[in-house]
Amino acid sequence: MCGIVGYIGTKQAYPILIKGLKRLEYRGYDSSGVAISNGKTNIYKQKGKVSDLEAFIGDGNTSGTVGIGHTRWATHGEPNNENAHPHASENGKFIVIHNGIIENYSRIKQRLITRGYTFKSETDTEVLANLIEYIYIKGKVSAEIAVRLALSKVIGAYGIVIIAIDEPDKLIAARKGSPLVIGIGDGEYFIASDATPIIEYTKSVIYLNNDNVAIIKRNELTLKTLQNDKLEPNIQKLTMNIGAIEKNGYEHFMLKEIFEQPRSISDTFRGRIAADLSEVRLGGLLDVLPKLVNAKRIIIIACGTSWHAGLVGEYLIEEFARIPVEVEYGSEFRYRKPIIYKDDIVIAISQSGETADTLAAINIAKEAGATVIGVCNVVGSSIPRETHAGVYTHAGPEIGVASTKAFTAQVTVLTMLAAILGKERKTITDAQYGKMIEELIDVPNKIEEILKQDDLFEKIAALYKDKANFLYLGRGYLFPVALEGALKLKEISYIHAEGYPAAEMKHGPIALIDENMPVVVIATKDESYDKIVTNIQEVKARNGIVIAVVTKGDTVIKDMADHVLEVPESHKAIATLLSVVPLQLLSYHIAVMRGCNVDQPRNLAKSVTVE
For ligand G6P, give the closer residue by CB, 556 or 604: 604
Q: Answer positive or negative: Cα dihedral of 140, 142, 146, 149.
A: negative
Q: Where are the alpha helices (DSSP H) in 153-252?
A: none
Q: How far is CA 324 from the centre of its chain?
A: 27
In angstroms, rounded to a whole number, what is the distance separating the alpha carbons of residues 258 and 237?
Answer: 27
For ligand G6P, give the closer residue by CB, 244 or 604: 604
For ligand G6P, give the closer residue by CB, 401 or 419: 401
In angstroms, rounded to a whole number, what is the distance separating the alpha carbons of residues 515 and 499?
Answer: 19
Question: Residue with CB nearest ligand G6P?
Answer: 304
- Taking CB under 6 A as the rule, does residue 268 contact ligand G6P? no
**Nearest distance, CB of residue 372 and ligand G6P, angstroms:** 15
Q: Which of 197, 304, 396, 474 binds ligand G6P (CB under 6 A)?
A: 304
Asked if 2 and 83 count as a contact pair (C-beta separation under 8 A), the reply is no
**DSSP for 148-163, written as a single string:** HHHHHT--EEEEEEEE
For ligand G6P, give the closer residue by CB, 288 or 487: 487
Q: Which of 75, 121, 193, 350 binds ligand G6P (CB under 6 A)?
A: 350
1: exposed, middle or buried (Cβ count in 10 Å: 0-12, 13-18, 19+): buried
Q: What is the DSSP letter of 574?
A: T
429: exposed, middle or buried (Cβ count in 10 Å: 0-12, 13-18, 19+): exposed
- Taking CB under 6 A as the rule, does residue 608 contact ligand G6P? yes
Q: Which stretch binds ligand G6P (CB under 6 A): 182-190, 302-310, 429-437, 539-547?
A: 302-310
User: 3-8 and 189-192 as β-strands: parallel, antiparallel, unpaired?
Assistant: antiparallel
Asked if 115 and 131 count as a contact pair (C-beta separation under 8 A), the reply is no
256 sits in the region (left: phi over 0; alpha: psi -120 to 50; else beta) called alpha
Q: Which of 32, 355, 415, 524 binds ligand G6P (CB under 6 A)?
A: 355
Least Cα distance to 158 among 85, 221, 220, 251 occurs for 85
For ligand G6P, give the closer residue by CB, 65 or 352: 352
**Nearest distance, CB of residue 146 and ligand G6P, angstroms:** 34
- Taking CB under 6 A as the rule, does residue 493 contact ligand G6P? no
For ligand G6P, give the closer residue by CB, 439 or 484: 484
Q: Which stretch binds ligand G6P (CB under 6 A): 177-185, 214-222, 297-305, 420-428?
A: 297-305
**Nearest distance, CB of residue 43 and ligand G6P, angstroms:** 30
**Nearest distance, CB of residue 393 and ligand G6P, angstroms:** 10
For ligand G6P, give the closer residue by CB, 31 or 350: 350
For ligand G6P, give the closer residue by CB, 304 or 476: 304
Q: Which H helix or E strand runs over 551?
A: strand 545-551
As beta bridge partners, residue 520 has 472, 547
**Nearest distance, CB of residue 347 and ligand G6P, angstroms:** 13
For ligand G6P, give the closer residue by CB, 358 or 570: 358
Site string for ligand G6P, 382-411 (x = CB under 6 A): -------------------xxx--------
**Nearest distance, CB of residue 388 and ligand G6P, angstroms:** 18
- Taking CB under 6 A as the rule, does residue 606 contact ligand G6P? yes
Q: Answer positive or negative: Cα dihedral of 125, 129, 132, 135.
A: negative
Contacts of 586 (CB under 8 A, 6+ apart): 457, 460, 461, 485, 489, 520, 547, 565
Which residues, numbered 585-604, are part of the site for ligand G6P (CB under 6 A)? Answer: 604
For ligand G6P, give the closer residue by CB, 162 or 395: 395
Asked if 67 and 58 count as a contact pair (C-beta separation under 8 A), the reply is no
- Taking CB under 6 A as the rule, does residue 176 contact ligand G6P? no
216: exposed, middle or buried (Cβ count in 10 Å: 0-12, 13-18, 19+): buried
**Nearest distance, CB of residue 168 and ligand G6P, angstroms:** 37
**Nearest distance, CB of residue 300 and ligand G6P, angstroms:** 12
Identity of the residue numbered 445: N
**Nearest distance, CB of residue 209 and ligand G6P, angstroms:** 20
| Number of amino acids touching ligand G6P (CB under 6 A) | 16
For ligand G6P, give the closer residue by CB, 285 or 362: 362
In angstroms, rounded to a whole number, what is the distance separating the alpha carbons of residues 203 and 84?
Answer: 30
Q: Which of 352, 371, 408, 528 binds ligand G6P (CB under 6 A)?
A: 352
- Please state, in angstroms and as integers, the Cα–Cα distance from residue 571 to each residue in 415, 521, 567, following that order: 12, 18, 12
CA dihedral 247, 414, 380, 204 (to 10 degrees): -60
**Nearest distance, CB of residue 15 and ligand G6P, angstroms:** 29
CA dihedral 17, 72, 202, 382 (to 10 degrees): 160
Q: Which stretch binds ligand G6P (CB under 6 A): 157-165, 301-309, 510-518, 590-598?
A: 301-309
Q: Which residues are catalytic?
A: 2, 606
Least Cα distance to 181 among 191, 167, 169, 171 occurs for 191
Q: Where are the alpha helices (DSSP H) in 465-517?
A: 478-493
Q: Which of 123, 196, 331, 358 binds ligand G6P (CB under 6 A)?
A: 358
Q: Which of 306, 524, 570, 609 binds ligand G6P (CB under 6 A)?
A: 306
Cα angle 64, 244, 266 (rounded to 5 degrees) comes to: 160
- Taking CB under 6 A as the rule, does residue 303 contact ligand G6P? yes
**Nearest distance, CB of residue 351 and ligand G6P, angstroms:** 4
Can you give the binding site for ligand G6P, defined by CB under 6 A? 303-306, 350-352, 355, 358, 401-403, 604, 606-608
